[in-house]
Structure 1
Amino acid sequence: MNYLIVEDEPALGETLRAYLAKDGQAVLATSLAQANERVAQISPDVIILDLSMPDGDGLTWLAQWRKHLTARVIVLTANDEELTMLKGLRLADDYVVKPVSLRVLKARIAKQLPMTVQQFGAVSLNLATGQVTKNETAVVLTAAEYRLLAYFFANPNQILARDQLLAALWDTREQFVADNTLTVTIKRLREKLEDDPAHTTLIRTVRGMGYFIDG
């Protein structure tokens, strides 16, 4: 996921950039001129747009760019005037008034993303194309690894028992599947998707109970 943050307050801009960078690539533009360059450089999926920029008005900039953008645009501003909000909602996909918590902002972003793309941390899964990426880099999975990851993504933050995972992924009634098949598949997934497979942050083990994907 590529994020462009258009924000002229350095501290807030860097806070947003660091937070969103956990889910992909996040780039900060502190002026509209810089935003023009960043749009061309990274082809953003999501733009977080302040309105009061040093070199112009964010909504004027958005009106000029709107027909060229495929990105979801979320206005993030201290301006809570009704007319500005109405104009912003006509041009952008959402309008959020500062201050707002990072978790609420992330939830507002998630509401704008197509359901075909699911994301946990730096790992995303496109259900339409079957593509898996980590930090915007494609990851090649075997069929079994892909089925397992897709099942985890479909059941987020739930502890899934080993028998449940085996039954969902392999037809254990018609063919023998060794219990360590699941262990090996999870190990390989972790090697491909975790920064440090020895200290997992994505696919976690709950001793005596099973596994869950941590979103």
Structure 2
Amino acid sequence: MTDKKMLYVEDDLSLIEGLKFTLEKNGFTVDNARTVKEAYRYFPAGRYGLLLLDVTLPDGTGFDICREARKDSSVPIIFLTASDEEVSIVKGLDMGGDDYITKPFRLGEVLSRINALLRRSGQFQKRDAILESNGIRIDPLRRLAWKGETELALTLVEYKLLCLFLENPDRVLSRELILDRLWDGNGNYVDDNTLSVYIRRLRRKIEDNPGSPTMLLTEIGVGYHWKRANNFVGE
């Protein structure tokens, strides 16, 4: 199955051996690349159910690979980074990453986070009713979304957020509820600033003027809500 096949990009041999063994023992098929150039030879990303990317590589960064993958793929992406500096984490999420794990890490934690991300991806592909609001339309069976006639290139987290808001129009969703829905209740994986990154990234794709949003609104000190416009037929 494609979702059990992943590309693991890492150049540290001590990490590769242990993590690759753990993943394969748990039913995954793992291709390992040690450089950005080698990773590109494994593309297209459609061959994989997940990309596990070290940030620092001999000839570039995991960000380079993520940027290339996001040109035509919504494959789930997890970054492995030795730095827990906010700027590095935000950069990875802002360009399309779905999660990050800081080094040093426990093998069990990595496995748990991978399974959780794939499980959430599967859950959001099982819905069957078309969601539509404010000219935004989602087809859950195909996991596609459009703004008007233009298809939206959404990452997994962006797609999940959009589904959540369109399923709960005109309802204020607390930040805690959103984190709980997106991260299986393990909101400790992310913080408020990380959620703000995802919201900002989604607004850039759906709002005519992301700086002055009219659909995805902030409720200061509480969370966010999706405001339905009255001028769209059927709403």
* TM-score, normalised relative to structure 2: 0.47
Please name the residue that 2:88 is paired with: 84
Partner of 2:110: 105
Match of 2:100 in 1: 95
Contact 1:48 1:76 in 2 (8 A): yes
Change in CA separation of 1:100 and 1:43 when aligned onto 2, cut-off 3 Å? same
Contact 2:40 2:65 (C-alpha < 8 Å) held by counterparts: no
| Structure 1 position 70, deviation (Å) | 3.4
- Aligned pairs for 1:4-153 (under 5 A) are 4-22=7-25, 23-40=27-44, 43-90=47-94, 91-114=96-119
Percent identical = 32
Shift of the alpha carbon at 1:115?
A: 5.0
Is the Cα–Cα contact under 8 Å of residues 10 and 30 in structure 1 kept in the other structure? no
Assess if the C-alpha contact under 8 Å between 2:10 and 2:33 holds in 1.
Answer: yes
Q: Which runs of 4+ in 1 moved over 6 A?
A: none
Aligned-pair CA distance for 1:41: 8.5
Tell me the secondary structure at the aligned position of residue 99 of structure 1: coil
> Residue 38 of structure 2: SS of its match in structure 1?
helix
Whole-Å Cα distance in 2 between the matches of residues 69 and 48 of structure 1?
15
Q: 1: CA distance between counterparts of 2:113 and 2:45? A: 25
TM-score normalised by length of structure 1? 0.51
Q: Name the CA shift for 1:20/1:39 in 2 (closer, same or farther; >3 Å).
A: farther
- Count matched residues: 121
**Aligned-partner Cα distance in 1 for 2:6–2:64:** 20
1:5 aligned counterpart, secondary structure: strand
- How far residue 60 of structure 1 moved from its aligned partner, in angstroms, is 2.5
Q: Supply the distance in 1 between the matched residues of 2:75 and 2:45 (Cα, whole angstroms).
A: 14
Aligned Cα RMSD in Å?
Answer: 2.4
Higher Cα Rg, which structure: 1
Q: Distance in 2 between matches of 1:41 and 1:73?
A: 10
Task: Tell me the distance in 2 between the aligned counterparts of 1:63 and 1:115.
Answer: 22
- Paired AA for residue 109 in structure 2: V
For residues 74-96 of structure 1, the C-alpha deviation after alignment (integer angstroms, 9 at most, x for no partner) is 00110211111111122200011
Whether the 8 Å contact between 2:45 and 2:73 is mirrored in structure 1 is no
